[in-house]
Structure 1
């Protein structure tokens, strides 16, 4: 079986699990589809009775590894995921990752049962949000901009600006510069990513990363320099992105940490609504 055929089976399994459980799984498809050796995901899977029954993916972000997986309804409670986790854990040890995060939808009862068997602590949680035209109209989202679009400019990052992106990430998300640079090295092989620089008066003051597939765009790593916040730069950049993606016929999605109420308030005021909640547990074994 080819890699593409396996990926199609993983997609089918994801749809089956999401429909059955009423959840949204975060499988990082941009990493899954990356070419081998380009920093993409590593995954393990198993078949039962000719069907893809279980899957687990490992996603490296600098020295941290995120883990997410699933088991087909009707094949659970057979030890399938435990076996996949044991294989994945050996791979993580070989990679000498400094940190392991297990990601699970907050509403997944089957995930909750498995997570209780491991030495974990809750690290953080995120809301997944989707832009809603009616909510944007209710909140007059496009009428409350503080800065005009001709002052806040969005442009593609140049190839020589990887360090600038890493510096903005490091300051915005409280990570080390070394880890941020390493992450961008890994993202280099993912052509579906679009790195955007946000400028004010010709000076870079923020950035975001866009990823689009099947007419759905996700906004990741959206940050504005802390010294420049409170001036409407983030709102202007967000609204410009919404308008651009709407013209392309794309839905607009993003993620926000629960402990970031300022960002959550901005997104809600621009018309985003919460669709799912994802929990991240740190492995302490």
Structure 2
């Protein structure tokens, strides 16, 4: 696992980069805090201070890449050096697809990406909930996921997030190991219709993996489940955030109706060479 010192240095560098560049980095802290493989993290330090950092996040056969360099140390090839080391690890682990993540307004990230063999593929919005009155819905039921729900959860990941079944199983196994995450099954009349996952840390709640079976979409169940989750997390004293692909207009409208506002865009680039 990453040490407390390493995590503190990552957070310090993140805060500096975000303040100077007026961006929000997507560092997947829920995964960093649960690292069991340090070959996914790459550091460059000088005089005991972290100057550059690159992280890999595995999702089945896909790996996502995020990194940062101290503003005063840029254009010294620190990130490129880390990327060479990361590529070796990616190849050794046999990942088949590489997605590079960059905040939509990060000038330095876009300059580096412009010189790499990659192509823009999609964007996500990071959204935060602004407080408003939410009525609890009584005609749906949210219960904690059980081991026997695993196949159902994988099925939803395949249908909603274009995962292969193998990737869905690997992803489900990984997220279930995180003690900060809570997995819920959405039920209507005792029938399983969807799922939602909440990662809770330091009075912040992040919603992930929200999906409803196609035959139950368009009937208001998803919105009711989301309202109940947001209401529960807010009453527990947590801020609430989620992510959504920018092209998913239906989901965007739903989130906006409930009170979510866009905080930052994240762009993803597909690496063309491996």
TM-score by length of 2: 0.95
SS of residue in 2 equivalent to 1:190: coil
- Aligned partner of 1:43 in structure 2 is 41
Pairing partner for 1:116 from 114, 117, 132 = 114
Q: Contact 2:39 / 2:89 at 8 angstroms: preserved in 1?
A: no
- Aligned partner of 1:65 in structure 2 is 63
The answer on 1:8 being equivalent to 2:11 is: no
Q: Where does structure 1 lack aligned partners over 5 or more consecutive residues?
A: none
- Aligned partner of 1:173 in structure 2 is 161
The answer on 1:249 being equivalent to 2:237 is: yes
1: CA distance, partners of 2:225 / 2:124: 21
Q: Contact 2:154 / 2:168 at 8 angstroms: preserved in 1?
A: yes
Q: Where does structure 2 lack aligned partners over 5 or more consecutive residues?
A: none
What is the aligned-residue RMSD (CA, Å)?
A: 1.5
Runs of 4+ residues over 4 Å off in structure 1:
none
Q: Deviations over 1:151-201 (max 9, x none)?
A: 211111012322211111111122222210111122232111111111111
Alignment of 1:102-113 (within 5 A): 102-113=100-111
Q: Deviations over 1:64-93 (max 9, x none)?
A: 000000001101110000000110011001
Alignment of 1:26-37 (within 5 A): 26-37=26-37
Residue 216 of structure 1 deviates from its aligned partner by 0.9
Alignment of 1:129-140 (within 5 A): 129-133=127-131, 136=132
SS of residue in 2 equivalent to 1:14: helix
Pairing partner for 1:219 from 207, 217, 229 = 207
Pairing partner for 1:263 from 247, 251, 262 = 251
1: CA distance, partners of 2:162 / 2:80: 33
Q: Contact 1:205 / 1:225 at 8 angstroms: preserved in 2?
A: yes
- Aligned partner of 1:78 in structure 2 is 76
- Aligned partner of 2:141 in structure 1 is 153
Pairing partner for 2:52 from 47, 54, 62 = 54
Q: Contact 2:23 / 2:106 at 8 angstroms: preserved in 1?
A: yes
TM-score by length of 1: 0.92
Pairing partner for 2:187 from 199, 202, 224 = 199
Q: Contact 1:65 / 1:97 at 8 angstroms: preserved in 2?
A: yes
Number of residue pairs aligned between Structure 1 and Structure 2: 272
The answer on 1:25 being equivalent to 2:13 is: no
Pairing partner for 1:91 from 85, 89, 92 = 89
SS of residue in 2 equivalent to 1:74: helix
Q: Deviations over 1:89-130 (max 9, x none)?
A: 110011110100000100100101111111111121000000
User: CA 1:61 to 1:117, structure 2 compared with 1: closer, same or farther past 3 Å?
Assistant: same
Q: Does 89-98 or 40-49 show the bigger shift?
A: 40-49
User: CA 1:115 to 1:35, structure 2 compared with 1: closer, same or farther past 3 Å?
Assistant: closer
SS of residue in 1 equivalent to 2:254: helix
2: CA distance, partners of 1:269 / 1:86: 44
Q: Contact 1:65 / 1:100 at 8 angstroms: preserved in 2?
A: yes
Q: Contact 1:34 / 1:41 at 8 angstroms: preserved in 2?
A: no
Residue 241 of structure 1 deviates from its aligned partner by 0.7
2: CA distance, partners of 1:274 / 1:196: 25
Residue 35 of structure 1 deviates from its aligned partner by 4.5
